[in-house]
C-alpha cells in the first residue's frame, strides 16, 4: 500500500509512551498514513474508561520517534484521545490505533483495559479504532507477530471497515509468526473474572497496606470465543459495541417486577 500522507493516524496506548509496544505499533502505522502520537507519560494500565476531571492535564512534546509528531500526556488513555482531537489535531483522525498492549485484553479484560478504552473513546466519536494486545506481559516482548497480523487487520479496517463505528479488540498469542494459525473473528468469552487475593503488608510505620494480585478464571472457552482462539494459536478479533443494555432482561423485568 502506498503511503498516504493525507490520512492521519492517532496512536496511543496505556503502557505509556516509552513502552516497546507503542513503538512497534507506530512502525506499522507509518505504512498507512501520517502518524501522530498522544500517549500517557507513565503506565496507565487497568485505567478502564477513566477520564481526568478533577485535575489539569499536561501535554509535552516527545522527541523520541524518528520523524513522528508525538506528545506525552499526564492523563489516562481516554484523556489522550480527547486531547489529541481537541488540542493537537484540531480534527478527528482517520484511524485510531491503541497498543500494542503488553498483556492480554481478551474476554472481560475489555472492561478494565485502558488500551481498549482509548479505542472505545475514538469509536464513540465515529473514528475507526482498533486496540491491539499481545498476550505477553514482558516489557521486552517480541512484537513481530503482532506487527505482522496487525498490518493485515489495519488494511482490512481501512478498506472494508466495521459496521456502526464499532471498535475491534485484537489479541495476539505469544507465538512466533510461523506458529500462528491465522486470524479468527470471535465473541468475547463470558463467565470469566479476576479472583483477587490482596497481598496484605506493613509499611515501615507499622500500618497495613494492600497490593492487588489475582488469578484469571474462565468457564467459557467454546470455539467461538477469543480465549479459545488464543489458546489454539489464533489471533482473536472481537468487534466491540457501545451498548451495554441486557435486552432480554427488559421483558423479564417488565413481566416480573412490581413497580
Contact flag: residue 49 with a second copy (CB under 8 A) = yes
DSSP annotation of 138 reads -
Q: Which listed range, 3-11, 31-39, 78-86, 131-139, lies at the site for a second copy (CB under 8 A)?
A: 78-86
Q: Select 26 or 146, whichever has its Cβ closest to a second copy.
A: 146
* Residue choice 7, 20, 30, 187 for contact with a second copy (CB under 8 A): 187
Contact flag: residue 186 with a second copy (CB under 8 A) = yes
DSSP annotation of 198 reads P
Give Cβ neighbours of residue 154 (< 8 Å, ≥ 6 apart): 28, 29, 32, 95, 97, 130
Contact flag: residue 85 with a second copy (CB under 8 A) = yes
Q: Select 3 or 86, whichever has its Cβ closest to a second copy.
A: 86
- Using CA atoms, how far apart are residues 36 and 88, in angstroms rounded to an integer? 9
Sign (positive or negative) of CA dihedral 147, 152, 158, 161: negative
Contact flag: residue 53 with a second copy (CB under 8 A) = yes
Contact flag: residue 257 with a second copy (CB under 8 A) = yes
Beta carbons of 60 and 40 less than 8 angstroms apart: no
Task: Pick the closest to residue 81 from 168, 154, 12, 9 (CA basis).
Answer: 12
Report 113-142 residues binding a second copy (CB under 8 A). Answer: 117, 120, 124-125
* Residue choice 26, 47, 62, 80 for contact with a second copy (CB under 8 A): 47
β-bridge partners, 187: 225
Q: Select 29 or 83, whichever has its Cβ closest to a second copy.
A: 83
Q: Select 37 or 110, whichever has its Cβ closest to a second copy.
A: 110
* Residue choice 66, 160, 215, 223 for contact with a second copy (CB under 8 A): 160
Residue 230 CB coordination number (10 Å): 25
Report 197-216 residues binding a second copy (CB under 8 A). Answer: 197-198, 200-201, 207-212
Q: Which listed range, 27-35, 61-69, 103-111, 140-148, lies at the site for a second copy (CB under 8 A)?
A: 103-111
Contact flag: residue 45 with a second copy (CB under 8 A) = yes
- Using CA atoms, how far apart are residues 176 and 233, in angstroms rounded to an integer? 10
Q: What angle do CA 106, 182, 178 make, to 5 degrees?
A: 110
Report 231-250 residues binding a second copy (CB under 8 A). Answer: 237-250
Residue 158 CB coordination number (10 Å): 17
Contact flag: residue 219 with a second copy (CB under 8 A) = no
For residue 70, the SS3 value is strand
Amino acid at each position: 500500500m502506498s503511503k498516504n500522507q493525507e490520512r492521519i493516524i492517532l496512536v496511543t496506548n496505556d503502557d505509556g509512551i516509552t513502552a516497546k509496544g507503542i513503538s512497534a505499533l507506530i512502525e506499522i502505522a507509518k505504512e498507512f498514513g501520517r502518524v501522530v502520537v498522544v500517549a500517557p507519560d507513565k503506565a496507565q494500565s487497568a485505567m478502564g474508561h477513566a477520564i481526568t476531571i478533577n485535575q489539569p492535564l499536561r501535554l509535552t512534546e516527545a522527541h523520541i520517534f524518528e520523524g513522528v509528531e508525538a506528545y506525552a500526556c499526564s492523563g489516562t488513555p481516554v484523556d489522550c484521545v480527547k486531547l489529541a482531537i481537541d488540542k493537537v489535531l484540531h480534527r478527528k483522525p482517520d484511524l485510531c490505533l491503541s497498543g500494542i498492549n503488553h498483556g492480554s485484553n481478551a474476554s472481560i479484560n475489555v472492561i478494565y483495559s485502558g488500551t481498549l478504552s482509548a479505542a472505545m473513546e475514538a469509536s464513540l466519536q465515529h473514528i475507526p479504532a482498533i486496540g491491539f494486545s499481545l498476550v505477553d506481559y514482558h516489557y521486552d516482548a517480541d512484537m513481530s507477530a503482532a506487527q505482522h497480523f496487525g498490518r493485515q487487520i489495519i488494511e482490512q479496517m481501512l478498506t472494508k471497515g466495521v459496521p456502526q463505528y464499532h471498535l475491534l479488540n485484537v489479541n495476539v498469542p505469544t507465538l512466533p509468526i510461523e506458529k500462528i494459525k491465522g486470524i479468527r473473528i470471535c465473541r468475547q468469552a463470558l463467565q470469566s473474572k479476576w479472583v483477587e487475593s490482596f497481598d496484605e503488608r506493613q509499611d515501615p510505620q507499622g500500618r497495613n497496606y494492600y497490593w492487588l494480585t489475582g488469578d484469571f478464571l474462565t468457564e467459557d472457552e467454546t470455539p467461538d470465543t477469543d480465549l479459545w482462539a488464543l489458546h489454539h494459536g489464533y489471533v482473536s478479533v472481537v468487534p466491540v459495541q457501545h451498548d451495554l443494555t441486557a435486552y432480554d432482561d427488559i421483558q423479564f423485568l417488565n413481566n416480573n417486577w412490581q413497580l
